[in-house]
Structure 1
């Protein structure tokens, strides 16, 4: 595997990590140092934080296989790695984070890309739940929307009973 340069100079940047990720790094680096010692001269120093036990960069197919295994063990449906990028944006939007900040975290070049792809998510979810609630009231039932996390693939779940 070859590590290629980033598309643009602005793509090379520092990224903020949540506190649990930062707390786990020293343990990870200790484990990696042990792997380096065990591999000896077979270690390939790649400069990457996450590597297989021989230090080489992780092959994309291997990474995908590991992600699928983790999802399976956790009882979650299979997704592409890039779906985590989308989930981050939607979760941040849901917490009220400004679109400009989300744009920077996702490292989109233009805010238009972020706005086009993500700004509609909360509105669409709210409108769908409002529509189901209206239908429920029309049918003589009352309900309160129960909003579940949305990955964009499935309609939102609302509390309206199915008759």
Structure 2
């Protein structure tokens, strides 16, 4: 996805260093390149993108990785799910 100045694939450590320079120039806080990946996957899941589609985008070999590491339950979603239950007196 990223090429060096001579057209060869960029080494991961070099990509990380390059990203660090860009991040500092942009004045962003200590964010790693991997944090951006994590954010995209979490946002896609939060937007209701089917997990198998997110898995393919993230290139995870197993759906378990997508769902266990990246899927975060936020409090609003939990509240909405519980509010959807029609509570009745037993």
Q: Quickly name the TM-score band, shorter chain normalised.
A: 0.5 to 0.7
Rg larger for? 1
Displacement after TM superposition at 1:71 (Å) = 0.9
- Match 2:18 to one of 50, 55, 66: 66
> RMSD over aligned Cα, in angstroms?
2.2
Q: Provide the C-alpha distance between the structure 1 equivalents of 2:6 and 2:41, rounded to a whole number of angstroms.
A: 34
Q: Provide the C-alpha distance between the structure 2 equivalents of 1:57 and 1:100, rounded to a whole number of angstroms.
A: 28
In the superposition, the TM-score normalised over structure 2's length comes to: 0.66
In the superposition, the TM-score normalised over structure 1's length comes to: 0.41
Q: Which runs of 4+ in 1 moved over 4 A?
A: none
- More contact order relative to length (CA 8 Å, sep ≥ 6): 2
Name the structure with the higher helix share.
2
Unmatched segments (≥5 aa) in structure 1 = 1-48, 131-163
Q: Partner of 1:100 in structure 2?
A: 52
Instruction: Find out whether 1:88 has 2:40 as its counterpart.
Output: yes
What is the count of residue pairs matched by the alignment?
A: 77
